[in-house]
Amino acid sequence: MVEQHRNTVSIRRIREACRTCSLNDLCLPVALDAPDVDALDRIVQRRRPLARGEVLFNTGDRFDAIYAVRTGALKSMTIKEDGEEQITTFHLPGELLGLDAISFREHPSTASALDTSSLCEIPFAELEDLAERIPGLNRQLLRIMSKEIFNDQEMLHAMARRSAEERLAILLLSLSHRFARRGLSATRFRLPMARHELSNYLGLAPETMSRLFRRFVENGWISVSGKELSLEDVDALRALTGSPSAIMQKDIGSEKHH
C-alpha cells in the first residue's frame, strides 16, 4: 500500500518536473524515483529567454551544459570557411541540445534561437555525477543519445538520393510528428523557421523551396499562410516518403518493458 502510494506520487512528481522543464526525454519512461527526480530537478537551471536570433553557444565554446527547449525553437549550424552556414538540426520544445559536444568538451556547432525561446540548462558535470548514483538516469541518457544517432542516420538516409519533393515531405512529417509528441496539433502548426532555413537544412536552393511549397499547395497536400502550415493530405505526403510508417514514428519509451 505504502509502496503503491509512493509509486503514484513518484509518477506525478515526475510528470510535474517534466512539465516545468520539458524534460520528458530525460525523465520518462524510466522509473525514476521521486527523490531522484528532485535531485535532477535541483540541478536544472532556468535561463532567461533567448530572443529571436540570439546565440545560445558558438562553435568552439567550452561545453559545460546541455539544454532542453521549453518553448520556442532553435537551430544548430556549422559555418563553412566561405562563411556559408549549414543547418544541421532544428530543436523543438522538449528536445535536447548539446549532445554532440560531450566527447570533445567543446561545441562543434553554433546554436541560435529561431524565435523567442526559453530553455533549461543542465550542467553536465552535475548530470554525470547524478547519473552515477541513479542507474535509471544513466540508462536513459544512453537511450536518448542512441535515439539521436538513430534520427541522424534516418535523416541521412532521407537525404541521400531523394528528390526535393521527397525531402520536403519527410521534413514536414517529421515536424508534424514532433509537434504531436508535445501534445500540439499534428496537422496545423506554425513553422518556427524561415523558408531559406528549411531549404538550407534540406540542401536545396531557396528558390526550389519556394516552388515546392507552391506545388504542394496546388496539389492540395498542404495549405500555407506565411509561417502557418496545415497538412491537408498526410497520406499523400507519406506516400511521397516511400515509408508509410517508418520515419520518425518511434518514440523513446514506446518499447515494451521487460
Partner DNA sequence: CGGAGTCTTGACCTCTATCAAGTTTTGTGG
Partner DNA sequence: CCACAAAACTTGATAGAGGTCAAGACTCCG
Answer for which of 88, 110, 117, 118 binds a second copy (CB under 8 A) is 88
* Strands, E assignment, 174-258: 188-190, 222-225, 228-231
CA distance 147 to 139: 12
* Rg, Å, the chain Cα set: 19
Answer for which of 22, 89, 110, 118 binds a second copy (CB under 8 A) is 89
**Choices 5-13, 43-51, 155-163, 217-225 (CB under 8 A): range interacting with a second copy:** 155-163
Q: Does 116 bind a second copy (CB under 8 A)?
A: no
Site for DNA in 220-239 (CB under 7 A): 224, 226-227
CA distance 202 to 87: 9
* Residue span 41-80 as binding mask against a second copy, x where in contact by CB under 8 A, dash where not: -----------------------------------x-x-x
Q: Does 152 bind a second copy (CB under 8 A)?
A: yes
Query: Which triple of cell numbers denotes residue 183?
Result: 501534445
For 122, phi then psi, to 5°, come to -120, 100
Q: Which does 99 bind (CB under 5 to 8 A by kind): a second copy, DNA, none?
A: a second copy
Q: Which residue has the cell 521534413?
A: 171
Answer for which of 54, 128, 207, 235 binds a second copy (CB under 8 A) is 128
CA distance 204 to 196: 9
CB of 93 to DNA, least distance (A): 19
Q: Does 207 bind DNA (CB under 7 A)?
A: yes
CB of 122 to DNA, least distance (A): 29
Task: Name the strand (E) or helix (H) holding 143.
Answer: helix 135-159
CA distance 120 to 96: 9
* Residue span 160-199 as binding mask against a second copy, x where in contact by CB under 8 A, dash where not: xxx-------------------------------------
Strands 110-113 and 74-79: antiparallel
Are the C-beta atoms of residues 237 and 169 closer than 8 Å to each other?
yes
Answer for which of 31, 205, 239, 246 binds DNA (CB under 7 A) is 205
Terminal Cα distance for the chain, rounded: 24
Q: Does 203 bind DNA (CB under 7 A)?
A: yes
Q: Which residue has the cell 540548462?
A: 121
Residues contributing to the site for a second copy (CB under 8 A): 76, 78, 80-82, 86, 88-89, 99-106, 108-109, 128, 131-132, 135, 138-139, 141-150, 152-157, 159-162, 200-204, 242-244, 246, 250, 252, 254-255, 258
